[in-house]
Amino acid sequence: MSDPLDLPVAEQAARVRDAADPLTARALVDASLARIAAHNEALNAFLHVAPERARAAADRVDADVAAGRDPGPLAGVPLAVKDNLEVEGLPLTCGSRILGTWKPLRTATSVARAEAAGAVVVGKTNLDEFAMGSSTENSAFGPSRNPYDVERVPGGSSGGSAAAVAAGLVPLALGSDTGGSIRQPAAFCGIVGFKPTYGRVSRSGLVAFASSLDQVGPFARSVADARRLQAVLEGPDPLDATSRAFVTPGSAATPVPRGLEGLRIGRVAEMTTERRVVGTEGVDRVEGLRAQLDAAGATAVDVALPAIAEAIAIYYVIAPAEASSNLARFDGVRYGHRAEADSLERLYAKTRAEGFGAEVKRRILLGTFALSAGYADAFYKRARGAQVALGQAFAEAFERCDVLVSATTPTAAFRLGEKTGDPLAMYRSDVLTVAANLAGLPAVSIPAGFNEQGLPLGLQVQGPVGADALVFDVAEALERQLATCRYVAPEEAA
């Protein structure tokens, strides 16, 4: 590729760090901003673009290089940030109207770590309101569109980040994953999306949806690029009590590239029978890979995980319950939109009625009901017990295999509006991804070819808690085996 913006991230950063190379951080950022200006209208991937901030940051990187200082492993690489992560001085909307024009006074730890490594934030990307959705159609600012077919969704809730990377507007992006919100849009857009083990990346500065499930993670065009970004994100943070150091190595542990020889790759029978519920494309694609895996020397292991059939039900009790609590802070008093009212109670009610969209209201109601007196034992506490059992079932499964491989999504990207009238059908889009969040597992989606309409399909790799490096190793080996990584050139994204 002749355009430096299309090079692997490691090569972009290496050239920027080389004072003798004519490529500068400013040139990379200008190229990214030019692509955004040319193509974002068609995709609605970005809600806010910050050219002045980005160019100033790029100039600081170039000044470090000129002074002989190392700006970091992501030197000058343009980065998009999902708009539920705080970036000081930039609007934070969470895809909602309730925050109004509010701008945070600090930067999320994950974003700050990426910037400290030399990455340059070029803007904030679109999402389902407060990360609640599977299509980005719940955004108060209109849906993002899939670069492969602008009449289809890019997935959600991190659809804007996925579309931006898939269309080549940026090489890297940050998203959040509560029930599949990184992996599902990565699959729909034909790129790589990684959800780390819960606690490996700080959630400080991420606007909470469901605090026990939310995770920040990277989008990229290749596993190596995603791994490079993930390596600078992880590590304990005093601002997030759930973040921690792990005995097992993280993504930064990069041994000699391994193949698939000798790996025990688990296939969960219950994840293939989901074709009866929601579709066949993704499931059938993974079934077709078995011969390739065998030829590469991997051992296929059939694993029974009956508890996974309950994952969606567990998720849609726990996640709305936590959302009900977390979103109570948006009341019109402390920040954001404030409705006119003649009493405090009416101010609360009117502000939230005007500011929240239908899906957010639906989940708040579901969660409030699940936590209410007389129902908490029957719903919330029972779901928590089932969640523990699911985690134990995964631990037992990983005694028989090294990783689990499945489709990321049952189908390719669906058409805009196709599922908006049926919330249950929309919820089932996450049937293959929510279990990893409930169990706190590391999981990645990589491209796995295309369906008959030329739409991307994703392959998901899940590993034991803390085995993020292993998941990346296997994903890189599978990526080489499948050889399906590509992105949509900007001229194709119109």
Grouping H, G, I as helix, E, B as strand and the rest as coil, residue 175 is strand
CA distances from 142 to 46, 135, 407 (A): 11, 11, 28
Number of C-beta neighbours around residue 361 at 10 A:
16
Number of C-beta neighbours around residue 362 at 10 A:
14
Sign of CA dihedral 8, 12, 17, 21: positive
Identified catalytic residue from 32, 82, 134, 243: 82
CA distance 391 to 387: 6
157 has catalytic annotation: yes
CA distance 215 to 449: 27
DSSP 8-state assignment for residue 234: B
H/E element holding 406?
strand 403-407
Is 244:223 a contact under the CB 8 Å cutoff?
no
251 has catalytic annotation: no
Residues 6+ apart with CB under 8 A from 92: 83, 84, 86, 99, 102, 103, 104, 124, 207
Identified catalytic residue from 134, 139, 176, 181: 181
Strand ranges of the sheet holding 264-268, from the earlier edge strand across to the other edge: 46-49, 120-125, 78-82, 172-177, 215-220, 192-195, 443-450, 456-462, 403-407, 264-268, 299-303
Is 319:209 a contact under the CB 8 Å cutoff?
yes
Is 176:219 a contact under the CB 8 Å cutoff?
no
Is 209:323 a contact under the CB 8 Å cutoff?
yes
Is 457:482 a contact under the CB 8 Å cutoff?
no
DSSP 8-state assignment for residue 399: T
CA distances from 104 to 165, 194, 207 (A): 25, 26, 11
Sign of CA dihedral 285, 287, 290, 293: positive
CA nearest to 168, candidates 191, 150, 151:
191
Bridge partners of 175? 217
**Structure tokens of 164?**
């931006």
Sign of CA dihedral 301, 307, 310, 316: negative
Identified catalytic residue from 32, 96, 110, 157: 157
Number of C-beta neighbours around residue 347 at 10 A:
17
103 has catalytic annotation: no
Residues with catalytic annotation?
A: 82, 157, 181
